[in-house]
């Protein structure tokens, strides 16, 4: 393993993320595991730390411009942060490295499949969410907060296990739950603001 392969991997992921908008975790973690031979749990931890550091600057800019919906961030974090901590504890008590790595690899496969399906279905989910929000506003707004917390729980566990989901899956779910409230730029800022504390805990 030569040193330049890691910067090259970062460059490749950066180009692909810029061109496709797919979350960095969905690209970097499989690249580290499959091509660079990094142990699955090490790849997940490395990607989470890298993501939390690199997203800080972006969140600062979005927050300064008012492009972060902090209420939505709090709702997501209410579910995701305890779920991330619980998943970490569960992984810690699973003492066998073989079992733990098997869980991570299985989780990666599931997360990549979900991310692919979510990205394809994102416009459709946005249309459905917008239609329900306009035609049934009272029940929609009633269930919006608890559903956001529940989605946070799912994201917290998935991101802790695989490092995938906070960006790609999170943004897709938010366009369904907040089709009128979150503009495209506010969606990005809110998604980033939630991803940082989740990545740090995970």
Structure tokens given for 91: 């992984």
Please indicate whether residue 195 or residue 26 has the higher confidence score (pLDDT): 195
Distance from C-alpha of 79 to C-alpha of 54, rounded to nearest angstrom: 23
List, as one string, the DSSP characters of the chain: --TTHHHHHHHHHHHHHHHH---HHHHHHHIIIIIS---HHHHHHHHHHHHHHHHHHHHHHHHHTT---HHHHHHHHHHHHHHHHHHHHHHHH---HHHHHHHHHHHHHHHHHHHHHHHHHHHHHHHHHHHHHHHSHHHHHHHHHHHHHHHHHHHHHHHHHHS-STTHHHHHHHHHH-TTT--HHHHHHHHHHHHHHHHHH-
Q: Mean pLDDT throughout 2-10? A: 71
pLDDT at 110 over 80: no
10 vs 184, more confident: 184
pLDDT attached to residue 3: 65
Q: How confident is the model at residue 114 (pLDDT cuts 50, 70, 90)?
A: confident
Give the pLDDT score at 45.
76
Is residue 40 within 8 Å of 103, Cβ to Cβ? Answer: no
Lowest-confidence pick of 11-25, 47-61, 128-142, 180-194: 11-25
Over residues 40-68, the pLDDT tens digits come to 777 777 777 777 776 777 788 888 888 89
Per-residue pLDDT at 20: 45
| pTM for the structure as a whole | 0.79
| Segment 21-41, tens digit of pLDDT | 456 666 777 777 777 777 777
Q: What is the pLDDT at residue 73? A: 94
């Amino acid at each position: 393993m030569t040193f330049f392969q890691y910067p090259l991997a970062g460059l490749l992921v950066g180009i692909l993320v810029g061109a496709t908008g797919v979350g960095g975790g969905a690209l970097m973690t499989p690249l580290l595991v499959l091509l660079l031979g990094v142990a699955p749990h090490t790849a997940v931890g490395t990607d989470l730390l890298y993501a939390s550091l690199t997203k800080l600057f972006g969140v600062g800019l979005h927050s300064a411009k008012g492009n972060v919906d902090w209420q939505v961030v709090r709702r997501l974090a209410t579910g995701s942060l305890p779920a991330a901590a619980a998943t970490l504890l569960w992984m810690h008590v699973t003492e066998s490295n073989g079992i733990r790595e098997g869980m991570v690899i299985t989780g990666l496969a599931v997360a990549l499949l979900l991310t692919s399906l979510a990205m394809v279905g994102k416009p459709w989910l946005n249309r459905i969410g917008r239609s329900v929000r306009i035609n049934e506003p009272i029940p929609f707004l009633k269930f919006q907060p608890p559903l956001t917390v529940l989605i946070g729980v799912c994201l917290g566990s998935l991101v802790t296990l695989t490092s995938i989901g906070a960006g790609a899956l999170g943004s897709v779910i938010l366009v369904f739950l907040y089709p009128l409230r979150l503009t495209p730029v506010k969606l990005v800022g809110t998604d980033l603001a939630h991803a940082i504390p989740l990545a740090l805990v995970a």
